[in-house]
Amino acid sequence: MKFLNSLPMGHLLLDKKYLSYKEQLDFLGKTQEIIDDFALDSKHLAINNKIALFYASELGDSTFSKIPSIVRHFAKDLESEFEVFCLDIDDVSMVSGSFGSFVAKMKIDKQDNQDSEICFSQGVMFVYDENLLRFRGIESVADFDNPKHLMETLKENLKGVDYKEVISFKDEICQYHHRRDKHCSKCTQICPTFGVGANDSLMELVFSPVDCISCGACVGVCPTGALEYEEMPKGGLEEIIELYQDKKIFLCDNKSYAYLVEKGFTLPPSFLPLVLPNLLFLNENDLLTMLQTSGYEILVFGLKESLLNHWIESVVCFVNHLSMQVYQKNAIYYVSELGQINEALSAIGSFESYLYKNRYHRPHRESLAQRISYLIKDKDFGVAKSAEPVFYGNIKVDSMRCTLCLSCVGACNVNAIFAKEDDFSLRFNPSICTTCGYCVTSCPENVMELSRDGLELNREYFKSRELAKDEPFKCVECGKVFSTKKSIDKVFAILSSAFASDEKKLKTLQCCPDCKVKVMFGWL
């Protein structure tokens, strides 16, 4: 990754033989200035010399389990500089903590004198364990060519490790935080480490900056924008994209950029590179913004080295579903091999431009709705299918059974469902709905139905529509409106038989809170 020290990012993909080289270099310098504005300072974490070696025991001649010889020999080599704990994976019930402060909880036999907890700073796996692999600071021997290389890495860690607090969090728009039921934890599901986890007993996200590898996938997959990638926040990304107006974009991340430079690849003069720290923090609105601002289709290059690439492929797939419905062709070419690039570059064509600016930093689905509304105008282009985990959809409500209790309104933290006070109606804007389903499970009448088929490309989909409506109910004493007719009728039907012998109680069912008290105390 030594190429990353050569700034501005992307300039090594330019060919110096073209007359436009100096102009392109100056352009990339402007882009780099914005990227540098958001550079984060590193924090340092001290590491002590306690190390755990995880193994699967072997059976000895006496049928007792024993430590494999490869583990014993490696432990002996470490003893001069480390305090070593050899742990049979079958005796470990749980490993918690993070790099520098791990704790292994042991399954202890009553006759065993072992400590119930082993504290260590880093670890080595001589056995496969999927959960341990997610921890930074726990290495797998399978990732090293020889013991010497592994030993050097462990010793280097004793100098301490640097990390950045890349991810910030707004809990008020998170669709997991403090909800009664688990309807969204996409960020924890996509995280390849323990950078973000979920405490289901408290319904709270747990962040570990030390474990975070700054991939940004949690930001990209978040449907509400509750997570922000601080090394390239959305405001900064929009500034950069604005620079690419009327420019053909070749998009890649730092790692892919280094690979292309190593291979000696250069772009034709009609293209400009856009090199971002990573691509996984991008969402469908970011890509559509690039398309509409540049006025051209986009080529995205990303090395296929990780399952995480499934996310960016899903986002590209969704945008291409949209483009295919409207223009009958894909708008984004996603390639992962060097030999595919030139053919894809030659296929890049124009895209309808739209210079919309999200001035008030609205959530990305609101910005996307504005952009798509411009594309479709007053036509109907069918449905842009969802591409898991990018879901769009719709809601149906049985308006005859809905009592307008507004539980669904309270459940929705993106304001896709809201109440209109002046006409006592329940309304819904499907274009900003994240299809989390919390409104459906919150409905006491069980009258809501959710679909995740995709985004409907017609004008009405981007407007709020009426789901249900009722008449206002006035207090029988003071005449003040305090509820809806259906809700009061339901309560009256349930309780009237129980209150039939008490005229005052029966009357309170149709009274506002103020008059209810007065009736019960005989003040009315």
Axis crossing angle, helix 364-376 with helix 309-327, rounded to the nearest 10: 30
- Taking alpha carbons only, the member of 281, 88, 293, 91 closest to residue 195 is 281
Is residue 1's pLDDT more than 60?
Answer: no
State how far the Cα of 17 lies from the Cα of 173, in Å rounded to an integer.
Answer: 50
The residue ranges of every structural domain in the chain are 2-39+238-355, 50-162, 164-229, 385-469, 473-520
Q: What is the mean pLDDT of residues 78-103?
A: 94
What pLDDT shows up at residue 111? 46
What CA–CA distances, in Å, run from 169 to 105, 173, 174, 183, 255? 30, 9, 8, 18, 26
What pLDDT shows up at residue 515? 93
Contact 425, 449 (CB under 8 A): no
Q: What angle do CA 224, 297, 318 make, to 5 degrees?
A: 35
Q: What is the mean pLDDT of residues 421-426?
A: 85
What percent of the chain shows pLDDT beyond 70? 96
What is the number of other CB atoms lying within 10 angstroms of the CB of residue 230?
A: 17
The most confident of the ranges 49-53, 59-63, 516-520 is 49-53
Token representation of residue 466 = 């009426």
Mean pLDDT over each residue of the chain, to the nearest integer: 92
Q: What is the mean pLDDT of residues 85-95?
A: 93
CATH architecture of the domain covering 385-469: 2-Layer Sandwich (3.30)
What is the number of other CB atoms lying within 10 angstroms of the CB of residue 76?
A: 10
Please, is 88 exposed, middle or buried when counting C-beta atoms within 10 Å of its C-beta (0-12, 13-18, 19+)?
Answer: middle
Strand ranges, E, within 264-318: 271-276, 298-301
Q: Is the peptide bond before 389 cis (omega within 30 degrees of 0)?
A: yes
339 confidence band (pLDDT: 50, 70, 90): very high
Pairing of strands 122-125, 50-55: parallel
Assign residue 484 a region (left: φ > 0; alpha: ψ between -120 and 50; beta: otherwise): beta
What pLDDT shows up at residue 481? 85
Q: What confidence tens digit (pLDDT) does each residue in 457-507 have? A: 999 999 999 999 988 888 999 999 888 888 888 888 888 888 888 888 889
Is residue 110's pLDDT more than 50?
Answer: no
Q: What confidence tens digit (pLDDT) does each residue in 208-221 have? A: 999 999 999 999 99
Q: What is the mean pLDDT of residues 97-115?
A: 77
What pLDDT shows up at residue 61? 53
Query: Cα 35 to chain center, whole Å?
Result: 22
What pLDDT shows up at residue 114? 55
Same CATH topology for 164-229 and 385-469: the answer is yes
State how far the Cα of 448 lies from the Cα of 426, in Å rounded to an integer.
Answer: 12
State how far the Cα of 85 lies from the Cα of 518, in Å rounded to an integer.
Answer: 73
Q: Which helix (H) or strand (E) holds 235?
A: helix 234-243
Query: Cα 63 to chain center, whole Å?
Result: 49
Q: What is the mean pLDDT of residues 398-405?
A: 90
- Which amino acid appears at position 390 of this protein? V
- Which residue, chain included where needed, has tokens 């110096």? 16
What percent of the chain shows pLDDT beyond 90? 79
Query: For the domain bounded by 164-229, which CATH number is listed?
Result: 3.30.70.20
Q: What is the mean pLDDT of residues 435-452?
A: 95
What pLDDT shows up at residue 65? 60
Q: What confidence tens digit (pLDDT) does each residue in 357-380 have? A: 887 788 999 999 999 999 999 999
Instruction: Report whether CATH 3.30.160 matches the domain 50-162.
Output: no
3-state secondary structure of 425: strand
Q: What is the DSSP string of 109-131?
A: -TT----SEEEESEEEESS--HH
- Taking alpha carbons only, the member of 178, 179, 198 closest to residue 187 is 198
Is residue 109's pLDDT more than 90?
Answer: no
